[in-house]
Homo-oligomer: A and B are copies of this chain.
Amino acid sequence: LASGAASRVRRLIHNLRPAEIAHVLESIPKDPRIILWELVDPDDRGEVLLHVGDEVRSGLIKEMEAGELVALTENLDTDDLADLLQDLPGTVIHEVLRSMDLQNRHRLESVLSYSEDTAGGLMNVDTITVRADVSLDVVLRYLRLRGNLPDLTDSLMVVDRNDRYLGLLPLSSLLTTDPELSVAEVMVRDVEGIPAETTAVQVAKLFEDRDLISAPVIDQNGRLLGRITIDDVVDVIRDEADHSLMSMAGLNEEGDIFAPVFASTRRRSIWLGINLMTALLASWVIGLFEATLQQIVALAVLMPIVASMGGIAGSQTLTIVIRGLALNQIGKSNSRLLMTKELAVGALNGILWSVVVAVIAALWFQSAQVGIIIGAAIIINLAFAALAGFGIPLMLQRMGIDPALAGSVLLTTVTDVIGFLAFLGLGTIFLL
Residues of chain A whose beta carbon lies under 8 Å from any beta carbon of chain B? 17, 19-20, 23, 26-29, 140, 143-144, 146-149, 151-154, 171-172, 174-178, 207-211, 213, 230-231, 233-235, 237-238, 240-242, 244-246, 248-251, 257-258, 261-262, 264-265, 268-269, 271-273, 275-276, 278-280, 282-283, 286-287, 290, 293-294, 297, 300-305, 307-309, 312-313, 315-316, 318-320, 323-324, 327-331, 334, 337-338, 341, 344-345, 348-349, 352-353, 356-357, 360, 364, 412, 416
Please judge, given known A-B contacts A257-B338, A334-B28, A337-B29, whether A309 and B275 are in contact too, CB under 8 Å: yes
For the complex, what is the distance from the CA of A261 to the CA of B328, rounded to whole Å? 22
User: A241 — nearest CB in chain B belongs to which residue?
Assistant: B241
A contact face: mostly helix, strand, loop, or mixed: helix
A315→B208 contact, CB < 8 A:
no
CA A146 – CA B280 in complex, angstroms? 73
B272 touches A309 (CB 8 A): yes
**A19 and B208 contact, Cβ closer than 8 Å, known pairs A176-B149, A234-B234, A264-B345:** yes
Q: Which residue of B lies closest to A26 (CB)?
A: B329
* Interchain Cβ contacts under 8 Å between A and B, 29 examples: A19-B209, A20-B209, A23-B209, A23-B327, A28-B334, A29-B334, A143-B175, A144-B175, A144-B176, A152-B211, A153-B172, A175-B175, A208-B234, A234-B237, A245-B248, A250-B316, A251-B319, A257-B324, A257-B329, A257-B338, A261-B341, A264-B341, A269-B348, A269-B349, A271-B312, A272-B353, A280-B305, A294-B294, A304-B416
A264→B238 CA distance, assembly (Å): 28
A175 contact from B149, B245, B324, Cβ within 8 A = B149
User: In the complex, what distance in Å separates the CA atom of A271 from the CA atom of B210?
Assistant: 36
Shortest A364–chain B CB gap in Å is: 8
Residues of B within 8 A of A330 (CB): 27, 257
Contact A269 B353 (CB under 8 A): yes
Q: Give the contacting residue for A276; candidates B149, B177, B301, B305; CB below 8 A.
A: B305
Given A213-B230, A230-B234, A283-B305, 19 more pairs with CB closer than 8 A: A19-B208, A23-B209, A23-B327, A23-B329, A144-B178, A149-B176, A171-B175, A245-B248, A249-B320, A264-B345, A265-B348, A269-B348, A269-B349, A269-B352, A269-B353, A273-B356, A293-B297, A293-B301, A300-B300
How far does the alpha carbon of A320 sit from the alpha carbon of B251 in the complex, in Å?
Answer: 8
CA distance A272 to B386 in the complex (A): 14
Return chain B residues, CB-CB under 8 Å to A327.
23
- Whether the pair A319, B249 counts as a contact (CB closer than 8 A) is yes
Given contacts A27-B331, A330-B27, contact A307 B304 (CB under 8 A): yes
Is A304's CB under 8 angstroms from B319's CB? Answer: no
Q: How far is the CB of A346 from chain B (nearest CB, A)?
A: 9
Known pairs A209-B17, A269-B352; A279 contacts B258 (CB<8 A): no
Q: Is the CB of A297 within 8 A of B302?
A: no
Whole-angstrom CA separation of A357 from B279 in the bound complex: 11
Residue of B nearest to A353 (CB): B272
> Which chain B residue has the least Cβ–Cβ distance from A348?
B265
In the complex, how many angstroms separate the beta carbon of A27 from the nearest chain B beta carbon? 5
Asked if residues B329 and A27 are in contact (CB atoms below 8 Å), the reply is: yes
Q: Give the residues in chain B near A305, CB-CB below 8 Å.
A: 276, 279-280, 282-283
Q: Report A83 CB to chain B, min CB distance, Å.
A: 15
If A152-B213, A264-B341, A304-B282 touch, whether A313 touches B272 (CB-CB below 8 Å) is: yes
